[in-house]
Amino acid sequence: MKLVSRSEWGAARPTGSYVPVSSTKGVKIHYEGSAVPGALASDHGRCAGHVRDIQASHMANRGEGWIDIAYSFVVCPHGYVHEGRGLHRKNGANGNGPLNAGHYAVCAMVGTSGITSPTDDMLGGLVDAIEYCRSEGGAGSEVRGHRDGYATDCPGDDLYGWIQQGAPRPSGSGAAPAPVPPSGPSAAPPFPGRILRLAEPMMHGSDVGTVQARLIERTWNVGPDGADGWYGEHTRTTVTAFQRDSTDNGWLLADDGEVGPLTWAALWDRPVTR
């Protein structure tokens, strides 16, 4: 199982307290039901950012009143299982209180445009998530779709057909995509807890200075002001170049010019190539 923890994908803190659940009847499978960027299929480095986008969208939805991403887990096209609310916490995705308490909610990065069908690796990741919910989260044997017991098209016909077949693991699934930063011990200092990016007003702090100093140590030029702690255009351009160089050397990162947990770790853990 390729589990991506909340800290690894850069989750925001919940705005309230979770409701604990000791066990569930099983797992319900979801899809996003909206456009899913097709670029995710060939660029795993973008998947963590997409999970952050889902979380931000959910937490901004005042009608639902979600305190966090609604799903228990989110599975990307490459088979990585991103921790949402996680185990032993009631999710917010199944439709109402009893439904949310009755099953864990596992979402596949599939939608109505862009990525519209699950990959074999994604199906393998869904099976990993189901097995994890059973072995560690007290989930029962049921595997159902969101539409079971609730009026919705979710999880779409392709995923629902797979569920009706017994949610099998595809033969040959589970092969890892291009290398990504390891999930083991890191040489990096603790991630500062915020995504560093070019913003208005400009971000400033010791965490920005730490990134700039590390880039300079690795022979990257962050501009004439050096490690001044301001995340300006020079810093963004250099971070983007570092991310692209990382991907070119087998350390897959999104070239978004932002320093999230994966880019932060790569600044210390990725072998020097220039």
Of 28, 27, 29, 80, the closest CA to residue 50 belongs to 80
Of 178, 28, 4, 9, the closest CA to residue 100 belongs to 28
Kind of pairing between the strands at 24-31 and 103-108: parallel
Instruction: Give the pLDDT of residue 216.
Output: 96
Q: Tell me the C-alpha distance between 220 and 238, whole Å.
A: 7
- Cis peptide bond N-terminal to 201, omega within 30: yes
Cβ distance 195 to 55 under 8 Å?
no
Instruction: Give the pLDDT of residue 184.
Output: 52
What domains are defined for the chain? 2-164 (3.40.80.10), 206-269 (no CATH)
Question: pLDDT (tens digit, 9 = 90+) per residue, 59-112?
Answer: 999 999 999 999 999 999 999 999 999 999 999 999 999 999 999 999 999 999
Question: pLDDT (tens digit, 9 = 90+) per residue, 167-216?
Answer: 999 975 543 344 444 445 678 898 888 889 998 899 999 999 999 999 99
What mean pLDDT comes out for the span 261-274? 87
Lowest pLDDT segment from 56-65, 74-83, 150-159, 255-264: 255-264
Global pTM value: 0.67
CB count in 10 Å sphere of residue 96 = 11
Q: Tell me the C-alpha distance between 30 and 113, whole Å.
A: 15
Long-range contacts, 51-55 (Cβ 8 Å, 24+): 51/4, 51/9, 51/11, 51/76, 51/82, 51/84, 52/9, 52/10, 52/11, 52/12, 52/195, 52/260, 54/107, 55/11, 55/12, 55/84
Question: pLDDT (tens digit, 9 = 90+) per residue, 229-253?
Answer: 999 999 999 999 999 998 888 787 8
Question: pLDDT (tens digit, 9 = 90+) per residue, 6-44?
Answer: 988 999 999 999 999 999 999 999 999 999 999 999 889
Instruction: Give the pLDDT of residue 75.
Output: 98
What percentage of the chain exceeds 70 in pLDDT? 95
